[in-house]
Amino acid sequence: MSDIDKAIGMPRGLSTAGGPRLRLAGQGGVLLLAAILLLLPWLLRSGFQYHMAVMIGIHAVIAIGLNLLVGYAGQISLGHAGFMAIGAYGTAILSSRFGWPPLLGVVVSAAAAGLLAFAVGRPILRLKGYYLAMATLGLGMIIYLLISNEVWLTGGPDGLSLPMLSLFGQDVDSPKVWYGIVAVLLLVAYWMAGNLVNSPLGRALRSLEGPEALSAAAGVDVSASKVRIFTVSAVVTAFMGGIGALYAGFISPKSADFMQSIELVLMVILGGMGSIPGAVAGAAIVTLLPQVLTAVEHYEPLIYGLILILVMVLMPKGLVPTLAHRLRRSRS
Amino acid sequence: MTRQPKIRKAGVVRRVLSAVAGLSLVIGAVAAQAADPIKIGAITTSTGPGSYLGEAEEKALKLMVAQINKKGGVLGREIQLVHYDDGTNAERARALMQRLVTEDEVSVVIGSSTTPNTLSMADVATRYKIPLVSMAGAKAITDPVRPWVFAVPENDVMALGVMFDHLTKHKLTRVALLSSTSGFGRAAREGALELSKKRGDISIVVDETYAAGDTDMSAQLTRIRGNGQVQAIINLDFGNQPAIVTRNYAALGIKVPLYQSHAIAAPKYPELAGPSSEGVRVAVQPLLVVEQLPDSQPEKAKGLEFRKLIQERYNELPHGFHGYGYDALLVTVDAISRAGSTDKEAVRKALEQTRGVAGVTSQYTFSATNHGGVMPVSKLRMAEIRNKGFVLID
């Protein structure tokens, strides 16, 4: 961004000068990620390590979707665990109570989450800053309360079990197969997000971070763009919620609670807002950290919090953008 | 000049370190020549709302594993306890269970402290065919029987029976039910409604609920007070909210007696509820009142011994949840020693053949159709809170 752009507060996306940027979100990024995903099985030894890899993959896709909303469009959502829960519970209820094929359940639940996001998006996204945070928080809470109290449908606080996913007449039981499935989904999400960001909609989104009047003056339909990206991120989140529920075989309202929403936002912020590889890195860290910290039993929350604070203080832009920036500086 | 001592110091440290490393290698080689340890996994709810359950269980488990190892272990092998805390989160419990099974490769798992966490782990136990001994108390854990899942505590329905017996004995037959809508409270409420229908001696005239996280139950208690028929109030919940109910109950000056479930029977409850808990009746596990038990009770001698151990190690009095930890380990170790190996199917079979193993909270007899939760006679007793302590009552 040129100094003149900064001086007049030119939104990033509409800026004339792009400036040097590590283009990990482009084709190269997809290839790099594909290579990592292909090589990773040589490092994974136990079923548990595959389990963690699958969980990171699921969270990474959600973080990529949420990053479009939070990182690129600059709109906060503290209710995304609610969409995750719609996907998870929709899949669970449709498949275990109504006998639907699980994957159809995932698709229908994701569509339902999209419809909900589209319906509430317009009024909610008129709000800004803290008010938007409160509104999305409220949305998440409502979904959480519904799930924990409608016991006849959701099983309430005791949770709900799901049938095993079967593909081509085979039960998908092994973590290795799940690794393959999630790896493909992650690659697709990564590639699509990269394309979206560099499309006209993507540029419109990035402009939303700045003054809205300026975006509107540049011909961006502010309200429609926000609703569109809110819906997209809700669909992605709900879809992966459904996949995650099928993988886990069990869900409880805990997956819909406030802390889960915070964790999702944390992945985006920690990894780096507006950076697709950042979302993947953030998901990996937030998913792995609690497991690594079981070694310091009872001090876990303390050290977890400390690490997060340190990262935010030392790398306010998030892990990947900061490291990329340092790499560039050391090169030049 | 100032640098030199530093370097020398570093040299000394390095030499000591390498000596220690060499020594530990030798020790390691010796230990490996002896038998490998028996790995027992444990997941407890040591943090979060259920922490007073899991913390006690964790302490008992760690203490007793050390005790067993001091006496030479099981099958001539040491026990290695691989313990994790699930933070009152069912999904975390499930991930940790997976970790115990596939990464730590334990032979059997003990846990967890609450029902949803146990149920989420039960699926993993079934899938990987590994025995699971739970310390949670809902009927749903062992009814219907899952081949790989066992439970140590009496289930919630049995506990309600003890309370109902006491109410009938004192001719308090019209009761008000006040329960939480969270997992335990909801299951116990359903159990109570069913039991009252089945027995016919207790009629539930008011049925009020509150949500998890509510901080004032005066409204529900006022409605209960307004009903002239009510002769006693039963509160079904665990955690901190029963203490709030107790404070509200005292503040409203309600005269009919208040009954609390066995899930709050720990010194923490009178501590949280303060003076308003005086006179509240609670179903308690024998360990909490072990010194008041008649000498003829089989649990007494063992309970006193265990209490001494806990007091020496942690400087606190054990309650029923310490007891569940003790008993879960006892039943597990007993099964491993009868099985003569750590083969999972052999341990599972041995668990099913548990006969009259006497723990500190009860005696355990399992079968192919009874994986715990039900005893011939309940071991719970009614106690009243007097001077912040639990006193047995008739």
HSE (side-chain half, CA atoms, 13 Å) at A6: 5
Backbone angles phi, psi at A207, to 5 degrees: -70, -25
Q: What residue in B sits closest to A147 (Cα-Cα)?
A: B182
Rounded to 10°, the helix B51-70/B298-314 angle is 100
pLDDT, one tens digit per residue, over B82-95 is 999 998 888 889 88
* Contact residues, chain A, for B186 at CB < 8 Å: 151, 156-157
Q: Is B126 helix (H, G, I), strand (E, B) or coil?
A: helix
User: Per-residue pLDDT for B8 more than 70?
Assistant: no
Mean pLDDT of A193-204: 88
pLDDT of residue A5: 41
pLDDT, one tens digit per residue, over B349-388 is 999 999 999 899 888 999 999 999 888 888 899 999 999 8
User: Per-residue pLDDT for B34 more than 70?
Assistant: no
Q: Which of A159, A249, A290 sits opposite B90 (nearest CB)?
A: A159
On whether the CB atoms of residues B183 and B239 are closer than 8 A, the answer is: no
Chain B contact present for A305, CB below 8 A: no
Q: Which of A51, A252, A290 sits opposite B116 (nearest CB)?
A: A252
pLDDT, one tens digit per residue, over A294-326 is 887 778 778 888 888 888 888 888 888 888 888
Chain B contact present for A297, CB below 8 A: yes
Q: What residue in A sits closest to B97 (Cα-Cα)?
A: A48
Q: Which of A289, A218, A254 is nearest to A14 (CA)?
A: A218
* Contact residues, chain A, for B238 at CB < 8 Å: none
Strands B38-44 and A166-167, bridge-based pairing: unpaired
Rounded to 10°, the helix A47-67/A258-271 angle is 80
Cα four-point dihedral sign B242, B246, B247, B249 = positive
pLDDT, one tens digit per residue, over A276-286 is 999 999 999 99
Mean pLDDT of B340-345: 94
Whether B91 and A47 lie within 8 Å, measured CB to CB: no
Whether B47 and A252 lie within 8 Å, measured CB to CB: no
The mean pLDDT value of chain A amounts to: 86
pLDDT of residue B6: 46
Chain B contact present for A245, CB below 8 A: no
Whether A48 and B103 lie within 8 Å, measured CB to CB: yes
Whether B103 and A49 lie within 8 Å, measured CB to CB: yes
Q: Which of A121, A123, A90, A118 is nearest to A105 (CA)?
A: A90
Amino acid at B239: G
User: Per-residue pLDDT for A4 more than 60?
Assistant: no
pLDDT of residue B91: 82
* Contact residues, chain B, for A256 at CB < 8 Å: none
Q: Which of A48, A148, A254 sits opposite B98 (nearest CB)?
A: A48
On whether the CB atoms of residues A163 and B123 are closer than 8 A, the answer is: no
pLDDT, one tens digit per residue, over B261-318 is 988 898 889 999 999 999 999 999 989 999 999 888 878 889 999 999 999 999 998 9
pTM to 2 decimals?
A: 0.80
User: Per-residue pLDDT for B239 more than 70?
Assistant: yes
Whether B123 and A249 lie within 8 Å, measured CB to CB: yes
Q: Which of B101, B119, B123 sits opposite A158 (nearest CB)?
A: B119
Mean pLDDT of B132-160: 91
pLDDT of residue B17: 52
* Contact residues, chain A, for B89 at CB < 8 Å: 254
**Percent of chain A whose predicted confidence (pLDDT) is above 90:** 47
Q: What residue in B sits closest to A257 (Cα-Cα)?
A: B89
CA pair distance B213, B378, nearest whole angstrom: 31
Mean pLDDT of A200-216: 85
Whether A297 and B85 lie within 8 Å, measured CB to CB: yes
pLDDT of residue B56: 94
User: Per-residue pLDDT for A18 more than 90?
Assistant: no
Chain B contact present for A101, CB below 8 A: no
Mean pLDDT of A186-207: 90
End-to-end CA distance of chain B: 81
Q: Is B281 helix (H, G, I), strand (E, B) or coil?
A: strand
pLDDT, one tens digit per residue, over A241-276 is 999 999 988 888 888 888 899 999 999 999 988 899
Backbone angles phi, psi at A10, to 5 degrees: -65, 125
- A160 pLDDT tier (thresholds 50, 70, 90): confident
pLDDT, one tens digit per residue, over A40-80 is 999 988 888 898 999 999 999 999 999 999 988 889 999 99
Q: What residue in A sits closest to B98 (Cα-Cα)?
A: A48
The first and second tokens of residue B234, run together, are: 């039963």
List the beta bridge partners of residue A166: A171
Chain A contact present for B123, CB below 8 A: yes
- B19 pLDDT tier (thresholds 50, 70, 90): low
Q: What residue in A sits closest to B46 (Cα-Cα)?
A: A298
- Interface confidence, given as ipTM, is 0.73
B residues 59-118 closer than 8 Å to A (CB): 83-85, 89-92, 94-96, 98-99, 101-103, 115-116
Whether A301 and B47 lie within 8 Å, measured CB to CB: yes
